[in-house]
A = this chain, B = another copy of it.
């Protein structure tokens, strides 16, 4: 998606060969006008899929999921990262290892909000190793829900998650795929669409 690539080139910060900061427009300050354009793109790309629920994981996926849900006209569910005292009843859980935060945590979704009738579009801000997506897919599997696809804002194409998930048959729709980043010059190379 040209608009997102241009925005990443302009406002993204290459911290090192691995870390790309997009906190001025995606995951700390949120440019929801951009999110709306992203949502329209996914809506077009998944026009053939009977999506009736958006699923993401807290925290930085939530804003994107809310705008995507508004575009699709369906509810969004965000998986929680740890058991809250307010989250009673039967839950679906999966373990996820975060490389960014260097810890393993439980991903939790109440069974009341995901079931066999659900056709799910999973969305998230980043895809690197794909562990968070694995967790969400596993939760959908436990719920008997159908995963229609995965919408990612920024995929790190030089990390293995995207290729692995596509290899497993998942429809992964990344709006910008970073192939390489140079922290010395700040240049970012995107995969051609």
Chain A interface residues toward B at CB < 8 A: 15, 19, 21, 23-25, 28-33, 35-36, 58-59, 62-67, 69-70, 73, 75-78, 80, 84-88, 100-102, 109-110, 112-113
Contact B80 A30, beta carbon cutoff 8 Å = no
- Assembly of this chain: how many copies? 2
**Nearest-CB distance from A167 to chain B (Å)?**
28
Q: Tell me which of B25, B66, B102 contacts A32 (CB under 8 A).
A: B66
* 6 interchain residue pairs of minimum CB distance: A63-B66, A58-B59, A62-B62, A29-B113, A66-B66, A59-B59
Give A84 to B17 CA distance when docked, in angstroms: 18
Most buried by B among A25, A35, A86, A100: A86
Name 5 A/B residue pairs within 8 A (Cβ), A-sorted: A19-B86, A30-B78, A33-B73, A84-B101, A85-B102
Give A77 to B29 CA distance when docked, in angstroms: 4
Give A30 to B73 CA distance when docked, in angstroms: 11
